[in-house]
Amino acid sequence: DTGVSQNPRHKITKRGQNVTFRCDPISEHNRLYWYRQTLGQGPEFLTYFQNEAQLEKSRLLSDRFSAERPKGSFSTLEIQRTEQGDSAMYLCASSLERLGRMNTEAFFGQGTRLTVV
């Protein structure tokens, strides 16, 4: 399977614990995005990377959230001191952006569903 892979698929954690999610994008894709989706809503943008550089972070990304893409391949999203409000589906997407061809389609992973109890 050469699609976007996310692990774990589900995570239940106690409030106050730290969690880390992993995303493996499609291998040749240079852009990687993280989104958060709560029940009944559309996904909301959190942050994105161009290769290993984190180029933008949403205001939704509080200082308890940190994302990395150390070698421009896989990415991790860590949430420290989780709160019940962090319960959501965390979606990763990747795309291939080329000069002169903007805004191509994004390929999404299956998501990681986080439940904070």
Size of the site for another protein (CB under 8 A): 30
Which is nearer to another protein, 11 or 111 (by Cβ)?
A: 111
Q: What are phi and psi of 19, to 5 degrees?
A: -135, 150
C-alpha 70/C-alpha 116 separation (Å) is 27
Window 78-97: residues binding another protein (CB under 8 A): 89, 91, 93, 95, 97
25 binding another protein? (CB under 8 A): no
Which is nearer to another protein, 3 or 16 (by Cβ)?
A: 3
Among 17, 41, 51, 115, binds another protein (CB under 8 A): 41
Q: What separation, in Å, do the N-terminal and C-terminal C-alpha atoms of the chain show?
A: 33
Cβ contact 77:34 at 8 Å: yes
54 binding another protein? (CB under 8 A): no
Cβ contact 76:112 at 8 Å: no
Collapsed DSSP state (helix, strand, coil) of residue 12: strand
Q: Which residues bind another protein (CB under 8 A)?
A: 4, 6, 31, 33, 35, 40-45, 48, 55-56, 89, 91, 93, 95, 97, 102-111, 113
